[in-house]
Structure 1
Amino acid sequence: MHFRIEQWRAWAPGLDSAADWHAWSHTPVAQPDDGQQPDVGFLPALQRRRLSRLARMMFHVAWPLADGRGPLPLVFASRHGETSRTLAVLEDLGRGEPLSPTQFSLSVHNAIIGLWSILRGDTSEMSAMAAAGDGLEQALLEAAGLLGDGAAAVLLVVAEELPPALYRPSIDDVPFSYALALRLSATPDWQLELASGDGPRSAWPHSLELVRALSLHRTTLQHHCKGRQWNWSRSKA
């Protein structure tokens, strides 16, 4: 599979600019995550009120890549999704309280892309995915299909929020909240190949390893997940 990353943007607590990510990529450490909210001041206040933290993260990284452009297909990937909203719904159930229709509708996995479509006024094809371990690559396969169908560009977003304390003993793949947006085209630049093979687990979620590679202008990257070996290579730095 061949593609080009036309533009990228990432966010995590304390990390926003390209310079921030370049410094972190040299000496990566777990970021203190106290619920910091990314800026979405480009949206009207009334619209911002409906956005969860995860949605704000997604909008913060993706909006600049789509701003000023026409219809743009979107692939959104998150393994855990709206865990905070889901937990709130479950706690209401546990207390025997009536469920909030709004809270429930915004907790489902594709709610964020629905909000994106409404606020952007974009009815392009969009999908929301949940994939463990290699969600970035699975989302790339989906994006490649859209490019192959003739889309001039596709927006790919991966986002994970640090889960509530109740879930943390069971979730070990989100060291801190982060979001990554890529605007992709079909121009040959990066190549992604799939092979069989086991290997060590990456020190960081693979989306963050990609940010490191992009920040440090690396041309190769490898990721192992459940017997799958994903080989990334770039024709030029």
Structure 2
Amino acid sequence: MLEATLEGIGFWGNGLPDWDSACAWMRNGERPENPPARPSPQLLAANERRRAPGTVAVALEAALAACHAADREPATLPSVFTSTHGELTITDYMCATLAQDPCAISPTKFHNSVHNAAAGYWTIGAGAHVAATAISAGPYSFAQGLLEAMVQLHAGEEAVLLVAYDGIASGPVAEASPSEGLIGAAFVLSRSACAGLPGLQVKLVPRPPQEQPQRASDGPLAQLFKHNAMQPALPLLEALAMDQEKLWMRAGTAQWLEISIRHD
């Protein structure tokens, strides 16, 4: 059993630009008027914000919000960035350009195509010299990212930043790896017990109970973003917002995470 205190949460999704608005949607069905169309992470200089792809922008926006909520200095936190697909619009652009005019590949877009682009932007923007991990595990990416962050805590880290994100797929790539919209969710997890903050217990199990109280895709946030590849992360956010105490999450073809939540 791996345990952690959840010190801070960050969120950005289309139409719900922060964790408070996400909670208002889940609890009351309310959405803010005129939300921003794109996240604008203040960790980056203005020119970098303009050049950064949507996946990088949403990952950094959520990550910084989680650090602020936890009152943690971003530069001090080891980080785990998990994304199912990374930046698929750039992948589509690169494939099309290589097929039609290989010499026209944009160096800027090329360096934004790598799967650890968001982690790289984060470490540079935050001035972080601690470890940063980038994970992709298909539909199990969030579960494996959460497991990695919990294991790092168990191995001795005081606190770890977990960031999960996915964006839009376009072109032929969308047929094989569909994803719509933009989602970023971030969590600061620590080993420090703190009254008033939620606690997580995570256990890797071969199967969930035969009857679960709620399917992972039933909640309001998961339904709103059901076509985004990072939808598997949303039931945990729903459980935290709605004071649920238990959920099960697929972590592999024959693995599940049993997650218990203590709401203080």
TM-score by length of 1: 0.86
Whole-Å separation in 2 of the counterparts to 1:156 and 1:137: 11
| Aligned amino acid, residue 138 of structure 1 | Q
Q: Does the residue aligned with 1:222 lie in a helix, a strand or coil? A: strand
Question: Out of 98, 118, 128, which is 1:93 matched to?
Answer: 98
Q: SS at 2:191's partner residue?
A: strand
Q: Could you tell me whether the CA contact under 8 Å between 2:167 and 2:180 is conserved in 1?
A: no
Equivalent residue for 1:20?
21
- In the other structure, the counterpart of 2:235 is 209
Report if aligned partners of 1:109, 1:128 keep a CA contact under 8 Å in 2.
yes
Match of 1:183 in 2: 188
Instruction: Tell me the distance in 2 between the aligned counterparts of 1:24 and 1:227.
Output: 33
Deviations along 1:99-150, whole A, 9 cap, x unmatched? 2333212201112211111111111100100012222221122212322343
Cα distance in 1 for partners of 2:47, 2:67 equals 21
2:245 corresponds to: 219
- 2:9 aligns with 8
Give the aligned partner of residue 196 of structure 1.
206
Cα pair 2:9 2:19 within 8 Å, conserved: no
Supply the distance in 1 between the matched residues of 2:151 and 2:216 (Cα, whole angstroms).
Answer: 27
- Does 2:247 align with 1:233? no
Q: Does structure 2 retain, via aligned residues, the 8 Å contact 1:157–1:179?
A: yes
Which residue of 2 is the match for residue 114 of structure 1?
120
In structure 2, runs of 5+ residues without a counterpart are 30-35, 194-198, 223-230
Partner deviation per Cα, 1:159-203 (whole Å, 9 max, x = no partner): 01021153333335x453211000010246211112112779732
Is the Cα contact below 8 Å between 2:166 and 2:182 reproduced in 1? yes
SS of aligned partner of 1:56: helix
Structure 1 partner of 2:50: 49
Question: How many residues are aligned here?
Answer: 230
Residue segments in structure 1 that go unaligned for 5+ positions in a row: 29-34
Distance across 1 between alignment mates of 2:262 and 2:41: 35
Look up the match of 1:133: 139
Quote how far apart the aligned CAs of 1:72 are. 1.1
Cα RMSD over matched residues?
2.4
Q: CA deviation digits over 1:190-219, x for unaligned, max 9?
A: 111121127797324221111111111211
Matched with 2:168 is: 162
Name the CA distance, whole Å, in 2 between partners of 1:175 and 1:209. 18
Q: Does the residue aligned with 1:180 lie in a helix, a strand or coil?
A: strand
Partners of 2:183 and 2:83 in 1: how far apart? 11
* DSSP 3-state at the match of 1:37: coil
Check conservation: 1:21, 1:212, Cα contact below 8 A. no
Compared CA separation, residues 158 and 197, structure 1 to 2 (3 A): same
